[in-house]
Chains A and B, each alone.
Chain A
Amino acid sequence: MELRSKPITGKLVDLQKEIEGYALEYGLDFFPQIFEMCDYDTINILAAQGGFPSRYPHWRFGMDYDQMSKGYKYGLQKIYEMVINTNPCYAYLLQVNNWVDQKIVMAHVYGHNDFFKNNLWFSGTNRKMMDVMANHGTKIRRYMEKYGIDRVEAFIDRALSLENLISVNELFETAELKRRRSEINKQAASESEEDYINDDRSEALKSFMRSKKRRSEERTRVTTKEEKKELVLPKKVPPKPERDIMQFLINFAPLEEWQADILGLLREEAYYFLPQRLTKIMNEGWASYWHSTIMTQKALDASEIIDFADKHAGVMAMSRKQMNPYKVGIELMRDIEYRWNTGRFGKEYNDCDDMVEKENWDLKLNQGREKIFSVRRTHNDISFIDEFLTPEFCERQQLFTYKYNPRTGRYEIDQKDFEAIKSKLLIQLTNFGSPVIEVEDGNYRNRGELLLGHRHDGVDLDMNYAADTLQNIYAIWTRPVNIKTRYDDKEVVFHFDGHQMKPIH
């Protein structure tokens, strides 16, 4: 495949050296950085493919490309830059950008690169994802040759409908942890099953005794109906509600090998992108903090200030309809830096009742920089907002919550109260903005049906979407699929039998 971007040359190479020097001086710690130059069509392609030059064939990339090209054509949107979480870290510059733009982008990219390398949520991501993505492409193309494009594509369409049914906790599951957990589970299972042979006889003996006991039971038992049911009831699968539904289906759905393989590939890609969805505010805030710092303190020529201010203001534009992660991110980073420089944190400061004293509070700690470096290492958006959002910050940043007013038929500003804003933000960020759905039972009602549970936290599911999603899961599970949720304030289980969805209790 033809790669349509070229390594940067000439003055830009010198510029990179300069910016990299500043980044190092400030203590940023990053993967080797590679900049490539491309034209607009290429950056649209890359953006449509999630930043990667090669993906599996699928219409959705074509759709995104279609929209980006049109968006550009009608002058609605413009991509400045793209950076990918790999080692070495690739970033793409746009040919038509002017010199100041390139400077800003480079400085910004070093911020992202440092974040990718150091933020713990990214620690499990595969840094060789370029190759992995390309391999996925090759594999899926091969399956398409073998089984037909339509068939494979239809399966991918279904699998993509499950893309958000993964578990955040899985990001920290190392192979070792997994092995140990499965051992513990196995042990627990065998213990509960056979608690009467709780002694130190050998495993072989125990196993022998078990089979002996079972046979004698079978012979002697006069089974009543009730008991029969108990007997055939197999071990519950999964033992605990399981959030990684993609993995559950790979393990237990009656898939053909190629289907299981594709589901696995897509799951891997979903997990690769997950940390970026968990750290949008922090990641953009951090990168913006550094482009702004590097530019204003080091890299900016006096003649470029207006251009820089213009571009920077564009990126930081506030929107009444949605929170701009760049703006909130950078301001919160700066706020933390300021608070830790002046010592405005901790019990003593919080307990201070004297407004004047509080206003002029300055312990001259100068721990701000150090603090934000450690924040960027350990936090994700949820803990970032939870720990560092303050009432003063919300007021200064003019944050508010809005909601739909059915009477006027429009969205209206609701509250400017700190607690309301914070809880709204946290709700939106919880589980990367997706409803929490778990597999509760793989043999629901003892009919081999799947039971999903929605952990309702105040917002109902969109039932039209849910019905279509259930249809896709049904196609994979091949038996009826149920979802337990709350709808209109009532506990309800919706049952999808392959044709329609209806409530069963």
Chain B
Amino acid sequence: MDHPIKRDHARFRKIVKGRVRDNLRKYISHGQQIVPKGGDKFTVPMPQIDTPRFKFGDKSQGGVGQGEGQPGDPVDGQQDPNGEPGEGEAGQDEGSKELEVELTVDELAQILGEQLELPNIQPKGKKSLQSTVDKYSTIGKTGPDSLRHIKRTYKEALKRQIALGHYDPNNPTVIPTKGDYRYRAADTKIEMENSAVVIYMMDVSGSMGDEQKEIVRTESFWINLWLKSQYKDIEIRYIIHDATAKEVDENTFFRTRESGGTLISSAYSLCKQIIEADYNPSEWNIYPFHFSDGDNWSADDTKLCLELLDKFIVPASNMFCYGQVESRYGSGQFYKDLSSKYGAQHDEVILSKIKNKDGILDSIKEFLGKGN
């Protein structure tokens, strides 16, 4: 039988589901909540429910510490390697429970997947992308000291000493010489992978303000995070458009100042060109994402867009995602046009409205919840 605490635990998780979503929302809406710590490490606080109590406002309080240092030195600069000492009678501690853990991108994606109950993606196409992987699976006689295999080295030295009769069991000293040194060596392997490309398209016309772009940026961060956890190698292309479209790098994509009117078809035809040129739909998993505030210049252009989608982009892609960011100036007409053609529920064309920062998570779930 399970210990009753498992029930308490399940209960906690259930309560937190709502709560943690809120917490997660907070991270998402201000991206700085998740702190990249160099490499693939992130710091994310653990879920916690705080029981309100009368307590002191703590910033003014400070405390007593122990160690080297002169007045004015920061106390939190250096990490205490041992943390809170291990022993203790639990139940009496009031201390902070803000345990922070370092997460790799993979673990972060896993948390995201768990929270949103995202299904794993079923890739299409055969594994066609060759990628080389270096694995330290062999032993060599040369190499840098940092890769020296100590056990093997000593074994070699021992073998040599026994062979030469220099080994004395009563005084078992083993001294390796240069020839005994062994090093871990890399072996290059070719692995076949599913390949995937994400093509982001964003409307940068006058009606898309900073807030709208921030939403797109945050949302694309999480989408990339998830897709990267699903595909080993992933390519990302960026297209911005107003009345004309052009391909840009990531930085430009998020920084471009708005101008002019909107012809969505320009982006879609550029998207089509990119796919035709670089990504054979039978081998690539293709994910076009388009974010806009839903204003298109003319009904004629919208017609052209639908044609492009219908004839080429949708059949070529795993799914086509359209995210409409609410803005004060946008009419939102394009969403209606798309949904009247494809319906609100469609497996290959996914439409989502993002009201504000808090809507990002739900929108990600709509986009990625199908597992295409």
Identify the A interface with B (CB < 8 A): 1-2, 4, 45-51, 54, 57-67, 70-71, 74, 76-85, 105, 108, 112, 157, 160-165, 273, 276-277, 280, 284, 314-324, 326-328, 397-404, 406, 408, 410-416, 421, 424-425, 428, 433-435, 437, 454, 459-463, 465-466, 468-469, 471-472
Contacts and interface: CB of A to CB of B under 8 A. Distances in A.
19 contacts: A2-B3, A57-B11, A59-B49, A62-B5, A62-B12, A63-B49, A76-B83, A317-B80, A400-B66, A403-B60, A403-B61, A404-B60, A408-B74, A410-B76, A411-B74, A412-B73, A460-B56, A461-B55, A461-B57
A412 B3 CA distance: 45
Given A273-B91, A459-B56, A461-B56, A400 B74 contact: no
B74 A412 contact: yes
A318 B62 contact: no
A318 B69 CA distance: 13
A7 to B, nearest CB: 19
A401 B91 contact: no
Given A58-B8, A60-B51, A428 B64 contact: yes
A415 B66 CA distance: 12
Interface in B51-89: 51-78, 80-89
Contacts of B81: 317
Given A67-B48, A315-B85, A324 B90 contact: no
Nearest to B52: A468
Contacts of A328: 66
Give 9 closest A-B pairs by Cβ, nearest first. Answer: A50-B91, A403-B62, A62-B8, A468-B52, A62-B12, A62-B9, A317-B82, A47-B90, A318-B66
B90 A62 contact: no
Contacts of A435: 54-56
Interface stretch (B94-102, B153-161, B333-341): B94-102
B246 interface: no
A51 B92 CA distance: 10
B12 A66 contact: yes
B4 A57 contact: yes
Contacts of B73: 412-413
Given A402-B75, A459-B57, A277 B101 contact: no
Given A66-B47, A80-B86, A411-B76, A462 B57 contact: yes
A394 to B, nearest CB: 10
B89 to A, nearest CB: 6
Contacts of B67: 318-320, 398, 400
Contacts of B75: 320-321, 402, 410-413
A472 B52 contact: yes
Nearest to A1: B4
A421 B64 CA distance: 7
B1 interface: yes
Given A62-B5, A319-B65, A397-B66, A70 B46 contact: yes
B13 interface: yes
Contacts of B1: 2
Contacts of B63: 321-323, 401-402, 424, 428
How many B residues touch the partner, as a band? Answer: 35 or more
Nearest to A137: B4
B10 interface: yes
Contacts of A408: 74
Secondary structure at the B interface, as helix, strand, loop or mixed, is loop
A463 B60 CA distance: 14
Interface string B218-254: 0000000000000000000000000000000000000
Contacts of B8: 57-62, 65
Contact of A320 (B4, B13, B65): B65
A248 to B, nearest CB: 15
B65 A459 contact: no
A460 B24 CA distance: 31
Contacts of A57: 4, 7-8, 11
A324 B68 CA distance: 15
Contacts of A84: 89
Given A82-B90, A326-B87, A435-B54, 13 more contacts: A2-B3, A59-B8, A64-B97, A273-B92, A277-B94, A284-B88, A320-B66, A320-B78, A324-B66, A411-B75, A412-B75, A415-B71, A425-B64
A400 B69 contact: yes
A469 B91 contact: no
B15 interface: yes
Interface in B20-47: 46-47
B57 A460 contact: yes
Given A63-B49, A108-B87, A314-B82, A399 B56 contact: no
B42 to A, nearest CB: 13
Contacts of A65: 5, 8-9
A399 to B, nearest CB: 6
A48 B5 contact: yes
A161 B53 contact: yes
Contact of A424 (B49, B62, B68, B86): B62
B252 to A, nearest CB: 33
Given A161-B51, A322-B63, A463-B57, A315 B74 contact: no
Contacts of B80: 317, 319-321
Contacts of A318: 66-67
A406 B62 CA distance: 12
Contacts of A319: 65-67, 80
Contact of B5 (A49, A315, A320, A400): A49
A260 to B, nearest CB: 20
Contacts of B9: 62, 65-66
B60 to A, nearest CB: 7
A66 B78 CA distance: 27
A45 B15 contact: no
Contacts of B102: 74
Nearest to B11: A59
Contacts of B83: 76-77
B126 to A, nearest CB: 37
Contact of A402 (B3, B7, B10, B62): B62
A401 B75 CA distance: 10
B91 A51 contact: yes
A160 B87 CA distance: 25
A413 B70 contact: yes
A62 B74 contact: no
Given A161-B53, A326-B85, A410-B76, A321 B65 contact: yes
A400 B54 contact: no
B88 A79 contact: yes
A443 B35 CA distance: 51
Nearest to A46: B90
Contacts of A322: 63-65
Contacts of B52: 161, 465, 468-469, 471-472
